[in-house]
A and B are shown apart, each in its own frame.
Chain A
Amino acid sequence: MVKVYRPSNLKEALEIISSEKCTLFAGGTDLMVKGKSWSGLEPSFDRPVVFISDLDELRKIKINEFFLTIGGACTFTRIIDNSQIPDFIKEAFIMIASPGIRNMATIGGNICNSSPAGDCLPLLYAMDASVVLESIYGRREVNIEDFILGPGKNVIGWNEILTEVRIPTKNFKIRAYRKVGTRKSTALSKVSFAGLAEIEGEELKDIRFAFGAVGPTVVRSRRIEKKIVEMVSEKKLEVGEIKKMYGSIIKPIDDQRSTANYRREVCLRFVENFLMSCKWR
């Protein structure tokens, strides 16, 4: 038997988790698999469970000229169905799993699960997203890159709930999101990739690349991005050199889904083709 709480608002939920160590349960699509034993038996939980998927405070989606704010318990389906969210952001969510999973799984859960293969993460990294963590003592905002430490590891405290994801609503003229899996749905990524570029006239203002499933966390390098902008402004873009730089920081592994060689090669091809498709040259 496991103790279960179903708080009716955020305050109540925060009070519960400040008094005992609990497992927060939003969509449960990862938790139910983790606790699974024999078929037909209930999954096991070693701590009291707090259901937070129904909390209104966590289900809001707001957009203004600076930020898109998505509540932590918004399901992927809710995000996809929202009319205000730009399509290129939705695309990362449409490609996740299957309709049944998308109806249950939440953005907050996906981030807190902190899997290197989490499909919405490369885009959030590339967009400079941050997450808001709340406890009874207050709230703090943490950059997504600082939030995730490694596979399944992040900085959230026992008494905190990830209440919001904040994504700067910056415009990018050139955008690419790619996911490579074994089949078209219900497959974990071999590689995922987000590429964004902002161009004004012939000038490259900003470029960002993020790579998923190729390291313990999503890979992004501001140093290389800055280098690309410099090269383009000096009209001396060396695609080969950029690929070499990314090649030295993308260090994937061989596993059941794919090989290190393949993953690195595909990432570098994404970078190359993205750069070749930009029209500043």
Chain B
Amino acid sequence: MKEVNKSVPKKDGMGLTVGKPAYTEDLAPQNALTVKVLRSPYPFARIKNIDTEKAEKLKGVKCVLTYKNVPRNIVTRAGQGYPEPSPHDKFILDEYVRYIGDEVAAVAAEDEVTAVEALKLIEVEYEKLEPVLDFERAEGHPSIIHPEKEAHEMFPTGFNPSKNIAAEYHMSFGDLDKTLKKCDYVVSERYYTQAQNHTAMETHSSFAYVDINGRLNIVSSTQTPFHARRIVGEALGLPLDKIRVIKPRIGGGYGGKQALHGEFLVALVALRTGRSAKLIYTREEVFEATYTRHPMRIDVTIGADKDGNIKAIDMEILSNTGAYAEHALTVFMVAGSKTLPLYNKAEAVRFGGKVVYTNHTPAGAFRGYGAVQGNFALEATIDKLALAVGKDPVEFRVQNMIKEGETSPVFKIMGEGTEGVDMTVDSCKLEYCVKRGMELCGWKDKYPRKQIGKNKVRGIGSAIAMQGSGIPCIDMGSAVIKLNDGGFFNLMVGATDIGTGSDTILAQIAAEALGVSTDKVVVYSSDTDLTPFDCGAYASSTTYVSGNAVYRAGRKMKGLIEKAGAERFGVSKDEVEFDGEFIRTKDGRNSVSLSQLSTELYYSNKQKQLMVCESFCGEVSPPPFLAGFAEVEVDLETGKVDLIDYTAVVDCGTPINPNLARIQIEGGLVQGIGMTMFEGVKYGENGKLLTNNFLQYRIPSRKDINKLTVEFAESYEPSGPFGAKSVGEIGTDTPPAAITNAIYNAIGVRVTKLPVTPEYILMELKKKMK
């Protein structure tokens, strides 16, 4: 392997570093109208009356949108494949507002000052309704958040809006109760996770204009340009051939930009005024009015026999999807489907629960996508069970965890919203990951605890995790490769680089398949008019799904080049080969450079354009695996926990670009650490989000992370491009369990509610001392 498993620099790295205009806001026309949104000050209300006359008369205001003058088509903004597993429950604008931050109206004006001024001139009379703010009391609450008759599910998902239930699902195999009864050790615990925010550095942004042919063009910081085209068309009642969506460079997505945000509004303004219009979210809007991680309550019970063999697992979840149900069912299902197979020898497994509506900011996709919540609950309970059985928790995991060549009944039963697919894990180096991780972190020396000073105790904890590689049989990616004169290639992909470096690794895969060097491949991605389809950047799919499409296209193009060479030499195709620079006959008599051949193909000899298109839709979703180890130091005087060291050993198959794979893991770890230790979410009594800026919502700083050690296991996934699996999400999964396990090992306090706070630790320490 010449071009893959190689850390070539990110193609757009230098341009972004020196600040070239590249992001949505950089590219918006100078004279674009500024769109601002009036947002609801109430968690739940009906708009009795809305008067926009004064705002419309303000000089510089070009357009005011309310529910009265926009199309009323119910959609889901989730940005998923079609038909979506999320219910259709959102109008562009509605007479009901369902959370503090929900859209009431939009103003487009010549500049930002005028737009803000105009918002103040809109007079709204609200009928305040009793909000549902406690998700544990949402089901059957007298307030029904979605009473509208148009709301519907696309296929059976347990949608029952009259009870505030967005989705419901149950599965089981084996006889759980009987099996648990036979177990020698049974432990249970209840966990809570919070509504973490993605905190992408670029806020959600979009602009739109109508081109010379009367077509609507939308430029958006989106992870899913093709889904965005479909959903905008559906919401606006516009034929899809009238819409083009372009994704420029993106300043981070993490799932937060899978769903639509400002696209409907800028599109409507552009169509109504004929002017280009932009909507750049403020940080406060990102916090209050985009999406969060689904907060969950998770109950786990696990049973083992006297030798410590896990026999039964029960996981029951209540998930809070907020005011709209983007990703409600699927995030909740992934909490089980991407954790339960880890312990595949269990004879009886039960999983189920409900996803409820509340009057909070909607939850949506977020790196880890349920797996991180499920992993926290499962892996913390595994530690608890190991202690009950009397085993070192790492040995206990190794005894019970899934191994290469094995399968789990869960794979077939559970997919994302539908049934899953039967598969064996053909690459799984989890045992190596655990063993190597123990060496790197010094487990044997450090487990379970060490007193460091009078008031300082260190503890070490572990967790293992799995993710997937795309949604099998649903998500498709495709690639076009075109040969140019001079012997270079265009690679056109729908795949969506959101800062991950996917353009670079897809070019590497194309180059390796063609046998050329990566700099001969020019990438253009994510433009619904010019690139072939791709589901987008989510579900850990780009390297595996889009990468396989690119691999196929590269191999096919290599064949076309050899065929063109054979025609030029007048021999059969079998007699020529392409080595990356020259096309030669195998007997060595004839050769021509690719540069010359491609130029001849354009201008002088058997002229034609060589171009291929290939698609890939996975039949399986090979999971990457990770073993994580956290070392913490607890200050007994203040209850503060410092993270000293985090070690992660990863099996992602072949890392196509080891540097880019490493920063995917490191970034994921930091987001998981933030969720575990720092990112508290607080609401006022009326449901107002108080932690709506970077001063109140605290992501970890460089000083808080200390040492991260990331290593990759040698692994080869037979179904992946050059042996690769996904790497984007799995880094996020282990910190909640590994860190809270480490805290338990240090001081005997089990944290079951995230984030960990010194307030909680200190009070628990005090209780223990009594």
Contact = CB atoms under 8 A, between A and B. Distances in A.
B678 A273 contact: no
A272 to B, nearest CB: 9
Given A261-B759, A262-B758, A270 B282 contact: no
A265 B766 contact: yes
A70 B437 CA distance: 51
B704 interface: yes
Contacts of A184: 701, 703-704
Contact of B700 (A178, A183, A273): A183
Nearest to B761: A262
B571 interface: no
B195 to A, nearest CB: 15
A258 B760 CA distance: 10
Contacts of A269: 637-638
B753 interface: no
Contacts of A66: none
A84 interface: no
A265 B698 CA distance: 23
A259 interface: yes
A273 B758 contact: no
A103 interface: no
A32 interface: no
A180 B758 contact: yes
Interface in A253-268: 256, 258-259, 261-262, 265-266
A265 B761 CA distance: 12
A184 B704 CA distance: 6
Contacts of B703: 183-185
A38 B282 CA distance: 8
A182 B680 contact: yes
Contact of A183 (B112, B454, B678, B682): B678
A256 B688 CA distance: 13
Interface in B704-733: 704
A256 B683 CA distance: 9
A183 B704 contact: yes
Main secondary structure of the interface of A (DSSP, over half): loop
A186 interface: yes
B762 A266 contact: yes
Nearest to A257: B696
A270 B113 CA distance: 50
B200 to A, nearest CB: 15
A113 to B, nearest CB: 15
B701 A262 contact: no
B187 interface: no
Contacts of A182: 678, 680, 698
B759 A180 contact: no
Interface string B428-441: 00000000000000
Contacts of B695: 188
Contacts, number: 59
Contact-residue bracket for chain B: 20 to 34
A179 to B, nearest CB: 10
B691 interface: yes
A72 B698 CA distance: 31
B116 interface: yes
Contacts of B701: 98, 183-186
A188 B696 CA distance: 9
A123 B759 CA distance: 24
Interface string A172-198: 000000101011111110110000000
A100 interface: no
Contacts of A259: 759
Interface string A30-57: 0000000011110000000000000000
Contact of A187 (B113, B638, B698): B698
Q: Which of A39, A183, A185, A261 has its CB near the most chain B CB atoms (within 10 A)?
A: A183
B698 A261 contact: no
Contact of B638 (A180, A185, A186, A188): A180
B455 A273 contact: yes
B282 to A, nearest CB: 5
B230 interface: no
A229 B555 CA distance: 85
Contacts of A256: 682, 690-691, 696
Contact of B116 (A38, A190, A258): A38
B763 interface: yes
Nearest to B755: A182
Contact of B762 (A39, A186, A265, A273): A265
Nearest to B636: A269
B763 A262 contact: yes
Contacts of A38: 112, 116, 282
A273 B759 contact: no
Interface of A: 38-41, 98, 178, 180, 182-188, 190-191, 256, 258-259, 261-262, 265-266, 269-270, 273
27 contacts: A38-B282, A39-B282, A39-B283, A41-B112, A98-B701, A180-B638, A182-B678, A182-B680, A182-B698, A183-B701, A184-B701, A186-B701, A187-B698, A188-B695, A190-B758, A191-B638, A256-B690, A256-B691, A256-B696, A258-B759, A259-B759, A261-B763, A262-B639, A262-B758, A266-B638, A273-B454, A273-B637
Instruction: Return the 9 tightest CB-CB contacts between A and B, nearest first.
Output: A184-B703, A262-B759, A182-B698, A183-B704, A185-B701, A269-B637, A184-B704, A180-B638, A185-B703
Given A39-B282, A184-B701, 20 more contacts: A38-B116, A41-B112, A180-B758, A182-B678, A182-B680, A183-B678, A183-B698, A184-B704, A185-B701, A185-B703, A186-B701, A256-B682, A261-B759, A262-B639, A265-B762, A266-B762, A269-B637, A270-B637, A273-B455, A273-B637
